[in-house]
Structure 1
């Protein structure tokens, strides 16, 4: 199957998909994929850019390994799917859902109920009435614009890929951006679950939990969702045992949306900052990648430690082969626990895709 590039793909099309079989988090992993060969060994290979084109040029072969795993950090199979979202420039046009504007005619709406002069409440003079009417018209205009934008963007939405409860959840959202990212994330996750052979993936909805993470429809299912303008990505797997001690994380960021360098000290530990520039990309782009890597690791580690994870407690240094060197010793000391984790990254068109898996020892 030929690669489908993001710019050429229709809305809600799958632009990246892969299945991974991991033998241990500390040794190596194998993968079969339609579009890109992920790195197969944890050891550093000769330098190469972590892109679809260069991996294909290197001729790295996919694997059909079916070995059952018995080590602590193993999962049966991990599916990863990225789904294109409608044009982000359209989203920006209607991203304001009209909830702003709590001030009317220079006064807060709550002030309108105060008694004035003749004892009338609400808008008591022509200026106040004009302000209220203008506010109502502006709110209606924004709502109409939002509904029009939603009608345009949802025309290609594959509602058959969504559970009825997820569609009902969409109806409660006033913002087109929230609707699209919610739907795109669930579509990507359901396709990832199908790719990883997670069973009947349409039997139950995937709604948002109290911590913001998706509530998987079955106990043994693991999953994670991320999205940015133009793309939603998800990973899913089945844990045949010890599922309470395993977790996955995924994140996606725009390559072209470089992070301000003033955030370096906040995001990177001192020893990470010393290695900024190892990948040969612009410093702002590499900082975005490192931020994304830590976001994916946070999603995989937080369910296991259930406490705040300081930025500097996880040392993550991405390598040129698309993998990552990790040091969790500070987090282990902070959380008084032992952990094993693995992370990887890939560039798909203008997006960094990062993923992580973790196991509580």
Structure 2
């Protein structure tokens, strides 16, 4: 599913359950030694997906350890992202991207009060005008998670929910305009991102992939 909203120069793998017998590296075992079963299954399956995605790039299995602010640590020359929610885990990696962000959420309304905490007034007004059939509040939350995951490896600093203004196109794309100064990327200040979204199988998934150099297959 996630591959439908990723460009061909990003490899991915996903799982809709937790396969038994997933083997972790000792360093990964140490990270979750005291974790509850739910967290352990999320962590293990996400690493399983990450190693499958890396294999698509011709890379051998390697530990994927949480780094600063929990961002996964990838092999040299690789960027990527991991996501997990109830009934879904996925990873996306690339050697040809500056950054990648993905997120998955259950396709259902956000809990009461959450939308106000994660959105701007202009965003709430905009999604209120969009057609039904999509839980736009949940999609907005997911897209903001993808924005943060794409932002952090470039900026190495926090980005609040209120620091990016998102606009959705019902065709399956979105734009994110940064409301704070961005880092210099390829000699220019980063001012925002473009991304893709999809609703299927009871899930909403979002993605951002910024290529190292302009590409004809990079969705605007």
TM-score, with length taken from structure 2: 0.81
Runs of 4+ in 1 over 6 A off after TM superposition: none
Kindly name which structure, 1 or 2, has the bigger radius of gyration based on alpha carbons. 1
Secondary structure of 1:211's partner? helix
Residue of 113, 124, 136 corresponding to 1:286: 136
| 8 A Cα contact 1:297 1:357, kept in partner | no
Q: Is the strand fraction higher in 1 or 2?
A: 2
Kept after mapping to 2: 8 A contact 1:302/1:308: yes
Does 2:71 match 1:213? yes
Structure 1, residues 57-85: CA drift from partner, whole Å, max 9, x if none? Answer: xxxxxxxxxxxxxxxxxxxx102322122
Q: Tell me the residue number matched to 1:79.
A: 11
Give the Cα separation in 2 of the matches to 1:253 and 1:271.
22
- Aligned with 2:85 (options 222, 228, 234): 228
How far does residue 167 in structure 1 lie from its aligned partner after superposition? 6.1
Instruction: Write the deviation string for residues 211-247 of structure 1: whole angstroms up to 9, x where unpaired.
Output: 211111x2211111111121111111113xxx7xx22
Q: Which residue of 2 aligns with 1:274?
A: 125
Structure 2 matches for 1:42-53, cutoff 5 A? none
Q: State the alpha-carbon separation in 2 of the partners of residues 336 and 221 from structure 1.
A: 19
Alpha carbons of 1:187 and 1:19: their partners in 2 closer, same or farther (altered >3 Å)? Answer: farther
Any stretches of 5+ residues in structure 2 without a counterpart? 214-220
User: What is the aligned-residue RMSD (CA, Å)?
Assistant: 2.8
* TM-score relative to the length of structure 1: 0.51
Higher RCO (CA < 8 A, seq sep 6+): 2
In structure 1, list runs of 5 or more residues that go unmatched.
1-15, 23-30, 32-76, 87-155
**Distance (whole Å) between structure 1 residues aligned to residue 180 and residue 211 of structure 2:** 13
Counterpart secondary structure, 1:192: helix
Question: Quick one: distance in 1 between partners of 2:4 and 2:95?
Answer: 12
In structure 2, the partner of 1:320 is 170
Q: 1:173 aligns with which of 22, 31, 34?
A: 34
What pairs with 1:135-150 in structure 2 (closer than 5 Å)?
Answer: none
2:180 to 331, 348, 358: 331
After the TM superposition, which residues 5-84 of structure 1 pair with which residues of structure 2 at under 5 Å, given as runs? 16=1, 18=3, 22=7, 31=8, 77-84=9-16
Alpha carbons of structure 1 residues 163 and 320: separation in structure 2 relative to 1, 3 Å = same
Distance 1:188 1:348, change over 3 A: farther
- Asked if 1:182 corresponds to 2:43, the answer is yes
Given that residues 344 and 354 in structure 1 are in contact (C-alpha distance below 8 angstroms), is that contact kept between their aligned partners in structure 2? Answer: yes
Structure number with higher helix proportion: 1
